[in-house]
Chains A and B, each alone.
Chain A
């Protein structure tokens, strides 16, 4: 037990001297890194604007209130598009994520040397890149519009869904699979009877969870031109129509709250 001598008596310490030193050094280093980062940010900032910020914020608030309620009539179609981008994107992603997950899971992959690394690469690369970047890319390739949004959401979601799903597959009870194998079932029958029933609840949970996230993401895809309500937001911002902006933000907030509520309800019903 670490201790130090004080007036001839042993006093208990939590750590030994070298441990404390390393800790202090670690903290010092962290603080130094943080200070450096802050200086970088500070150097790139026009502080005049920042000191002026409260006035500007107040100014924007004055312009944005009250929201332009009658503009809501023009938002029907964009909301519908946003819903479609999220839903169709999720459905397409799930269709692609299922085979990817089966190829990535250690216990179902056809080959650990060749197929599994490819599946894992698909998962990592689609997951690391934000849907807005996918949307930018797809707009450059297939042109702006709802379709680019659907594909962007779908690609972004593959990795997310496949990762959670393959973790669920790796956690299944192998004895149940063994029992089905012992009846003389074929590989595919083992899959349908032994594995699928075990991962079905996880699958449904993942689908709803991702749909909720996708509703959020699809509301802003329009900022880069990929359809949905973000298009209106971007257009309103460009002409500084703040009353429209505030209405759109309210609508987006509302959509997010509703989708979260729906997904919580559905997940509660499944589990």
Chain B
């Protein structure tokens, strides 16, 4: 269970990115975080695993307050939080397999990782994950030879091999075409369900969020404006989050067509 208490972030420039956020996410819940650009979605996710240091407030993952940890303890805690990035953030000159295995860096020592001598258990798990997302044949390709959707799948594997309790997902579909976006979102949500993972998914695309998640949180100017189910997301609510606009077209129920997912390599 993840709890944010009065989380506050002010950048050096004086911008208040987060204004005292309180949020509770039970185990196994997948939550979509929506809001306009600059609302503080990215900052919030990065404050949880402290890629961005919060100014004040607490972040509780089960029984530990992450904001109080020393840098060594923080590394231990980060292993429990897998992160998926907008631009995939794969290390492009490493192979797919190295990228996936880099998710285990928090568990293996420096020399083992330097010499690429990962435990057999990790290697097997990496193969299983790559097979699950349909990229087993690509294992020894270099990451920059892959397409956008394939790279994001590798990014997902890297997050999952950490064996996390929580996934932090930052705009997973922003650089992808609509069809691939939907496949990726479905994959993430399926994997969360399979493994009982909680997840926070930053997402621009409201319709896509409504389609896959059970809870939506709307952020505006660093404060929570909405917290409820996708069905409660009415045009009025969207206006308070994003401002005046004709919303009917956006939240029109999108039928989830039966697509071939996963194996499309």
Contacts and interface: CB of A to CB of B under 8 A. Distances in A.
Interface of A: 173, 175-176, 178-186, 188-189, 192-194, 197-198, 200-201
Contacts of A176: 89-92
A197 B116 CA distance: 14
Given A179-B91, A192-B114, A193-B105, 6 more contacts: A176-B90, A183-B83, A183-B103, A184-B79, A184-B162, A194-B91
Contacts of B90: 176, 179
Contacts of B104: 183
Contacts of B98: 193
Nearest to A187: B71
B78 A184 contact: yes
B89 A185 contact: no
Contacts of B91: 176, 179-180, 193-194, 197-198
Given A197-B91, A197-B94, A198-B93, A183 B79 contact: yes
A194 B89 CA distance: 10
B65 interface: no
5 contacts: A182-B51, A184-B105, A185-B75, A192-B110, A197-B94
Contacts of B82: 183
A201 B162 CA distance: 29
Contacts of A182: 49, 51, 78, 81, 83, 168
B220 interface: no
B106 interface: yes
B85 A193 contact: no
B83 A197 contact: no
A173 B92 CA distance: 10
B87 interface: yes
Nearest to B107: A184
B93 A200 contact: yes
B129 to A, nearest CB: 14
Contacts of A179: 83, 85, 89-91, 155, 158
B214 interface: no
B113 A189 contact: yes
B174 interface: no
A189 B89 contact: no
B240 interface: no
Interface in B44-79: 49, 51, 75-79
Contacts of B77: 184
A200 B91 CA distance: 12
B191 to A, nearest CB: 17
Given A182-B81, A183-B103, A185-B102, A192 B113 contact: yes
A153 B168 CA distance: 50
A179 B87 CA distance: 11
A183 to B, nearest CB: 5
A176 B89 CA distance: 5
Contact of B106 (A175, A178, A184): A184
A200 B105 CA distance: 20
Contacts of B103: 183
A186 B94 contact: no
**Residue with the greatest number of chain B CB neighbours at <10 A, chosen from A184, A188, A193, A201:** A184
A183 B89 contact: no
A178 B114 contact: no
Nearest to A181: B51
Contacts of B107: 184
A181 B93 CA distance: 17
Nearest to B92: A176
Interface in B147-203: 155, 158, 162, 168
Given A179-B89, A182-B78, A193 B83 contact: no
A179 to B, nearest CB: 4
A200 B78 CA distance: 28
B102 A180 contact: yes
A201 B114 CA distance: 18
B105 A185 contact: yes
A194 B87 CA distance: 15
Nearest to A193: B102
Contacts of A200: 93
